[in-house]
Amino acid sequence: MGNESSPVLVWLRADLRLADHPAFQWALRMGGPVIPVFVWAPEEEAPWQPGAASRWWLHHSLAALAASLTERGSRLILRRGPTLQALRALVKETGAKAVVWNRRYEPAVIARDTRIKEALKSDGLAVESFNASLLCEPWTVRKKDGGPFQVFTPYWKACLELLNPGPAPGSSAPSAFTSPRAWPKSEPIEALELLPKIPWDAGMAASWKPGEAGALVQARRFVEHAVLAYGDDRNRPDHEGTSRLSPYLHFGEISPGRVWQKAHEAATKAGVAPPVFRSWQFLAELGWREFAYHLLYHFPETPERPLRRDFENFPWRRNPVGLKAWQRGRTGVPLVDAGMRQLWATGWMHNRVRMVVGSFLVKNLLISWQEGAQWFWDTLVDADLASNTLGWQWVGGCGADAAPYFRIFNPVSQGQKFDPNGDYVRRWIPELSRVPAEYIHAPDEAPADLLARAGVTLGREYPQPIVEHRAARMAALEAFAGRGKG
- pLDDT for the residue numbered 136: 97
All structural domains of the chain, each given as residue ranges with its CATH number in brackets, are 8-132 (3.40.50.620), 133-169+211-298 (1.25.40.80), 309-481 (1.10.579.10)
- 392-421 residues labelled b (16+ CB within 10 A) or e (exposed): bbbbbbbbbbbbebeebbbbbebbbebbee
Instruction: Tell me if 28 sits within 8 A of 98, measured CB to CB.
Output: no
CA separation for the pair 285, 262 (Å, rounded): 15
Q: CA-to-CA distance for 257 and 136, rounded, in angstroms?
A: 10
Judge whether 369 counts as a catalytic residue.
yes
Candidate list 93, 183, 351, 461, residue with the active-site label: 351
Alpha-carbon gap, residue 93 to 165, rounded angstroms = 45
316 is catalytic: yes
* Alpha-carbon span 184 to 87, nearest angstrom: 12
Half-sphere exposure of 57 (CA within 13 A, CB side): 34
pLDDT number for residue 405 = 78
- For 106, counting Cβ atoms within 10 Å of its Cβ (0-12 exposed, 13-18 middle, 19+ buried), the class is buried
Dist. CA 117–CA 39, nearest whole Å: 15
Question: How many C-beta atoms surround the C-beta of residue 481 within 10 A?
Answer: 10
Q: How many beta carbons lie within 10 A of that of residue 224, not counting itself?
A: 12
Q: Which residues contact 79 (CB under 8 A, 6 or more apart)?
A: 37, 38, 39, 40, 86, 89, 90, 186, 187
- Considering only CA atoms, give the Rg of the chain: 24
- Our measurement of the distance from residue 384's CA atom to the centroid of its chain's CA atoms, rounded to an integer in Å, reads 4
Marked catalytic residue, from 288, 319, 431, 461: 288
* Contact (Cβ atoms closer than 8 angstroms) between residue 341 and residue 430: no
Kindly name the residue from 187, 285, 431, 461 that is annotated as catalytic.
285
What are the residues whose beta carbons fall under 8 Å from the beta carbon of 341, sequence distance 6 or more? 329, 428, 429
CA 457, 463, 466 angle in degrees (round to 5)? 140
Give CA angle at 356 (401, 388), nearest 5°.
Answer: 55
pLDDT value at residue 2: 38
Q: Are the beta carbons of 24 and 11 closer than 8 angstroms?
A: no
Q: Mean pLDDT for each 10-residue chunk of the chain (486 residues)?
A: 72 98 97 97 97 98 98 98 98 98 98 98 98 98 96 97 92 95 97 95 97 98 95 94 97 98 95 94 96 98 95 94 98 98 98 97 97 98 98 93 83 97 98 97 96 96 95 91 63
Predicted local distance difference test score (pLDDT) of residue 1: 37
Residue 38 pairs in a beta bridge with 12, 78
CA distance 266 to 131: 26
Closest CA to 252 of 205, 211, 297, 284: 211
> Would you state the pLDDT for residue 3?
39
Catalytic hit among 316, 326, 348, 428? 316
Q: Per the residue annotation, which of 11, 101, 369, 428 is the catalytic one?
A: 369
Q: Distance between alpha carbon 236 and the CA centroid of its chain, in Å?
A: 20
CA separation for the pair 157, 144 (Å, rounded): 13
Residue tagged active-site, from 392, 394, 410, 428: 392
